[in-house]
Amino acid sequence: MPPAATGFEAVVGDGGSYIDIAFSKYLKASDPVPADALVVTGPDGAPVEGTYAYLEPQSAGGETLARKVRFTPNGDGLSEGAEYRVAIEPGAFVSYAGTQMLAGFDGTAKAARRDATGPVPASAESAGGGAAIRIVFDEPLAAGSLLDPGAFALSGTGRKVLSAVVEVPENGKQPMSAVLTLSGPVAEGAAVTVAVAAGAAADPLGNPSAEKTLALNSPNALLSGLELQGGSLSEAFSGERTDYTLKVTADAASVELKATLAQAGGRLSIRGVPLGDATFKTVAIPSDGIIPIRVEAAGHPDVAKVYTLTVVRSADPGPTPSPSPSPTPGPTEGSTPTPSPGNIADIGRGANVTSKDVEGRKTAMITLQTQVVMDALKAAKSGAELYLDAPANFESYDVSMTADAFKALAKMQIKLKLKAAPLSAAIRTDAWSGMSDGASAVHLLVARASVQEEPAWLADLKKKSAGLRAMTGLYRVALAAEDGGRSVTLTADRPDAATGGMDAAPIRAGRRIGRRLPLRSVRQPLALCVLPLLRRGAAIGERDGQLALLRRLRL
C-alpha cells in the first residue's frame, strides 16, 4: 500500500506554533522535505511562509525514517482559533518500502492552544499500611503508565522503591497520582522525604513532570501519653506498645483515663464512644474486663491503632505512673517492639492495622511484626498453634508478614489461627507450596465474598437446603506471596491446609459425621464458607469447591 497523509494538527503554544502532518506509513527521510510540493495557507487564503522538517526521525536498516512532517511558520506564527489549510501534491513522499505517495492531500484545521506544562508533584501520602507511597500531582497523568522506580528517591528511611505505576482511579476519572511499592513498611511517624526527579511521569499530552522534593505525609495513630486515676498500668507506657495490664481494686467500677494523641487532629474512642484528646474521662469497667482505646490518624480514619487495657482486680492497684514529660516519638525502622506481657503465642501484638475497601467489603490490612513472630517461635514447640486476634468491625482480613517470618513458621510446622469472632480460620504453614526464594512477603487472605456474589449464594442455599440458615457470610481462605511485584497464589498440598469454624470451636474442613468428604488440592485459593454453630444436627457440605460448615435449626 502506498503512503498517505492522514491528517494534521495546528498547535499554538508558549514555546511557539507549528503544524504537524501525519502519514499512514514511515517515509524515507534522508533527503530534505520537498517544500515545493506542500502549501500552507492562512485564513485569508494567502500562503504562510515557513520551514519543513521530518519530526522524530529514526534510523533503521541504514535508512532514516519518519512518520510526521512539521511545518514551522515564520514571523508571528499561527493565530489561535484561525483556520489553516494544508495541500500536498501526489508523489511528494516515498515510503520506507520505496512506494511513492499516489494520492494528494487537501485539508483544513483550526489552530488550538496546547498545554506545554507538565504535571507538578503536589503531595506524598503513606498508603498500604506504610508499605506504599502515593504521589499526588496537580494535573492528570497519562493513564496506564509504568514508571521508573529510580526516578523516586527516599530519604529518612532504609526502604527502597520496588515499583512505580500510575494509579487507576475509580469511576473512570483521570489519574492524578502514582503509587510507589516499597521494600517494606515505613515506620509510623518517621520523617521521610521523597525526591521526584524531572520526567518521572507525564501528562496525557506527553509533557514531562517537574522535579520536586516532598515530605511524606505519614498518618500517625500513636498515643504519646496515657494516664490513669483509680488504677495503674503494670507496664511503663510506650507509644509503640499496644497491650497493657490495668490493675484496679477488687470493687472498682470505673477508672479515670486520659489519652494523649502523638499527632493532633486524630480521633479517640472506646467501643465507639468518643474520647477527648488529653482529657480525663470516667470509663466504666466492662464485664469482659477489656478497655480498647481506638486511635484514628488525623485525616486518615482508615489508619488506626487499638491500645488494649486488660483489667486485673487486686487488693491494691499501686501508685499511678506519672505522665511522660514529652510526647513519645514514633517507632524507628528496625526497632524491636516492646513485648507484650500477654500470651507469647499471640503474634498479633504490635501489628499495624489499616482499613481498605475491597469489592465493597471493609477489609483489615494487618501487618505483623517480624520480631514478635520470631519471639513466639522461640517459646513454641514444633507443630504448636500460634494465633492473632483480628480487629473487630471488619468483613475481610489481609494478614501479611515477611517471607522470612513465614518460612520460619513453616519450618516448625506451626499452625496459624486468625480469631475474628464469630469466624476462625487456621492454616498449616508447612502445607503450602509455590513460593519462590525471591518472595518478599506472604499474605493470609480471609475474604468475604463480594456484595454481588454473596446474595446469589444465600439464595441458592435457601432454595436447595431444608432447615439450614446462614448467620454469617461466605468466606474464602487463601495464601499468596509477593514476588517481584506480582501476587502468586500458593498451593494447598494437603486436605487440612486450611480449617475453619466458630472462634470457640474450630472444626476440621473436609469431615462430616459418619463419613469423610474429600478436598482436592488445587492451584487456586481454597474457598471456605463459615456458618455459626446452632444447637444440633451438625453437617459439613462441599459444593463447587466451597466448604460449608452448617447446622440445622431446631424445629
Q: Are 313 and 168 in contact (CB under 8 A)?
A: no
Interatomic CA distance for residues 23 and 27, integer angstroms: 8
What is the reported pLDDT for 149? 93
What is the reported pLDDT for 341? 43
b/e per residue 141-172 (b: at least 16 CB within 10 A)? bbeeeebebebbebeebebebbbbbbbeeeee
Interatomic CA distance for residues 153 and 150, integer angstroms: 7
pLDDT 10s per residue in the chain (555 long)? 899 999 999 999 877 899 999 999 999 999 999 999 999 999 999 999 999 999 989 988 889 999 999 999 998 889 999 999 999 999 999 999 999 999 999 999 999 887 778 899 999 988 877 788 999 999 999 887 789 999 999 999 989 999 999 988 877 788 999 999 998 888 777 889 999 999 999 998 888 999 999 999 877 888 999 999 999 998 889 888 888 999 999 888 999 999 999 888 899 999 889 999 999 999 999 888 889 999 998 877 777 889 999 999 875 444 444 344 344 344 444 333 333 445 788 898 888 888 887 766 788 889 999 888 998 888 888 889 999 888 777 778 899 999 999 999 999 999 998 887 666 788 899 988 888 888 889 999 888 777 667 677 667 766 765 555 555 667 778 889 998 878 888 888 887 788 765 543 333 333 222 222 222 222 233 333 333 322 222 233 333 223 334 443 332
Interatomic CA distance for residues 103 and 353, integer angstroms: 66
b/e per residue 330-362 (b: at least 16 CB within 10 A)? bbeeeeebbbbeeebebbbbbbbbbbbeeeebe
**Segments of the chain assigned to CATH 2.60.40.1220:** 121-217
Q: For the whole model, what pTM was predicted?
A: 0.39
Q: Which fold has domain 5-113?
A: Immunoglobulin-like (2.60.40)
Q: Cell digits for 359?
A: 469489592
Neighbouring C-alpha atoms within 13 Å toward the C-beta of 115: 13
Quick: pLDDT tens for 71-109.
Answer: 999 988 899 999 999 999 999 999 999 999 999 999 999
Provide CATH code, domain 121-217. Answer: 2.60.40.1220
Q: Are 194 and 154 in contact (CB under 8 A)?
A: yes
Residue type, 508: R
SS3 at position 309: strand
Quick: pLDDT tens for 191-219.
Answer: 899 999 999 999 988 889 999 999 998 77
What is the reported pLDDT for 209? 93
Measure the CA angle with vertex 479, ends 476 and 485; round to 5°: 120
Shortest CA distance to 307 belongs to which of 234, 237, 399, 255?
Answer: 237
**Segments of the chain assigned to CATH 2.60.40.3710:** 5-113
- Top CATH class of 223-314 equals mainly beta
CA distances from 357 to 361, 397, 423, 456 (A): 5, 11, 20, 21
Helix (H) or strand (E) holding 405: helix 403-411
